[in-house]
Amino acid sequence: MTCILRTVGLTKRYGGKTVVDNVDMSIQAGDIYGFLGQNGAGKTTTLRMLTGLIHPSAGEIELFGTAMQWSKGKAMARVGSIIEYPGFYLNLNAAENLEIHRRMMGMGNKTCIDEALATVGLTDAKHQKVKNFSLGMKQRLGIARALLHRPELLLLDEPTNGLDPGGIKEMRQLFLDLARRRGITFLISSHLLGEVEQLASKIGIIHGGRLLEEIGSEDLRKKTRHCLALKVTDEQKAAFILEQRLRTTDYVVSGTGGLRLYAYVDRPEQVSAALAAGGVGVREMSVSGDSLEDYFLKLTGGEKFV
């Protein structure tokens, strides 16, 4: 897989305080990378470095396989971003705001404006002044602006901040759609565990400036999936019984009498009865696996995510 963005030892210090601490992150083509961290964790500071708004104190950033150029390098033309709240000229309409950006980006063809507005569902609001926009519409316009030059990578800092649940859902749909249909790669920061969980294909957890973990969502799901952990007298025979009598293949044999069963977690009595009837003794049986929230709590040393 192509690595689109990579940092090595990325660090930012303000005065004596290290606010981004030796971060190694990597984003592959097609990822929706959820950058999860609590308030003050260092998300915005990291994104500011990735977009060239501030210089790192140490470390390297590689974009599309080349070291980032600080003086508007070529790679930045392939990146769109919204860092904190997108600012607009409130007395101008949506199209006029995008037109200013189009000229700034040196884009020749005006059709990109209608295209970007259509993509985010703002075609009907094209001539409406931005001061009359709802927060959700402003966020959409921010995305339209970030998309204007048809970037391959979008860096979005808390794009759903302040939106109601309906607005958050619409945004999520939009991101998934852009990822699937246009192949855009995303880095989206958030302090909401639930939101990242529903959207991300890969999650990076930042805490106190340090990247505690980077994990694919499938691996995370496996790690946090509940199961019945069994110790039995004969695991091969037990597996046969699970398939024949309980009609499930959702288990893993872990050897030396161990077996993890992901089905029947809420019906352990049926499992022990079926195994006993088949002549397999159950030595131990317990529910195992953390909830996603427990998992993050452990990582962050007990500090809660919302």
Interacting span for Mg ion (CB under 5 A) from 36-44, 141-149, 163-171, 214-222: 36-44
CA pair distance 244, 217, nearest whole angstrom: 31
Q: Which does 97 bind (CB under 5 to 8 A by kind): ligand ATP, Mg ion, none?
A: none
The binder of ligand ATP chosen from 149, 191, 202, 207 (CB under 6 A): 191
Residue nearest Mg ion (C-beta atom):
44
Is residue 14 a contact point for ligand ATP (CB under 6 A)?
yes
Contact call for residue 207 and ligand ATP (CB under 6 A): no
Of the candidate residues 4, 5, 10, 19, the single one contacting ligand ATP (CB under 6 A): 19
Between 93 and 190, name the residue whose CB sits nearer to Mg ion. Answer: 190
Which residues are registered as beta bridge partners of 100?
none
Query: Measured in whole angstroms, how far is the alpha carbon of residue 67 from the centre of its chain?
Result: 24
User: What is the closest distance, in whole angstroms, from the C-beta atom of residue 115 to Mg ion in the complex?
Assistant: 30
Q: Which region among 38-46, 137-145, 218-226, 285-293 touches Mg ion (by CB under 5 A)? A: 38-46
With contacts defined by CB under 5 A, name the span among 41-49, 90-98, 206-214, 281-289 that binds Mg ion: 41-49
Q: Count residues binding ligand ATP (CB under 6 A).
A: 11
Would you tell me how many other CB atoms lie within 10 Å of the CB of residue 163? 16
* 157 burial level (CB within 10 Å; 0-12, 13-18, 19+): buried
Neighbours of 202 (CB within 10 A): 23
Separation CA 44–CA 30 (nearest Å): 22
Work out which of 44, 81, 93, 185 binds Mg ion, going by CB under 5 A: 44
Nearer to ligand ATP, 80 or 209 (CB): 209
C-alpha–C-alpha distance, residues 50 and 120, integer Å: 24
- Binding to ligand ATP (CB under 6 A) within 41-100 occurs at 41-45
Q: Tokens 């962050």 correspond to what residue?
A: 300
- In one-letter notation, the amino acid at residue 98 is L
Residue 65, φ and ψ in degrees, nearest 5: 85, 0
Could you list the residues that contact Mg ion (CB under 5 A)?
43-44
